Amino acid sequence: MSISTKIIGDNPIICIKNTGTHIEENEKTSLFQPFTRGEKSRNRNTGGSGMGLYIAKLIIELHHFSIAMKNEQDGVCVEITLNKQSVK
């Protein structure tokens, strides 16, 4: 896992990258829903409750920021875009 930052226009962007894995395009948005897990076995020993990304999305949106997930060549990046107007 790595964390990086960049600025596009006036907006700072935080990228949290998990290397070595990819998410199917049709599963990306559903991973932000409650109780949805990327690991499909439903075994509690191999995955969490499916609430982490959902809670993160709620917190980020309460601050008027946005969150998105995208596949990159070497992994998956969760991008948090901060609005310059919201950052004080």
Q: Is the separation of the CB atoms in 74 and 20 below 8 Å?
A: yes
Q: How far out from the chain centre does Cα 14 lie?
A: 10
Residue 50: the pLDDT is: 75
| Pairwise CA distance, residues 31 & 69, whole Å | 9
| Per-residue pLDDT band at 42 (split at 50, 70, 90) | low
Residue 63 has pLDDT above 70, yes or no: yes
Nearest to 32 by CA among 8, 2, 68: 68
pLDDT tens sequence across 5-27: 999 998 999 999 988 888 888 77
Residue 15: the pLDDT is: 95
| Pairwise CA distance, residues 66 & 81, whole Å | 5
Q: Is the separation of the CB atoms in 67 and 79 below 8 Å?
A: yes
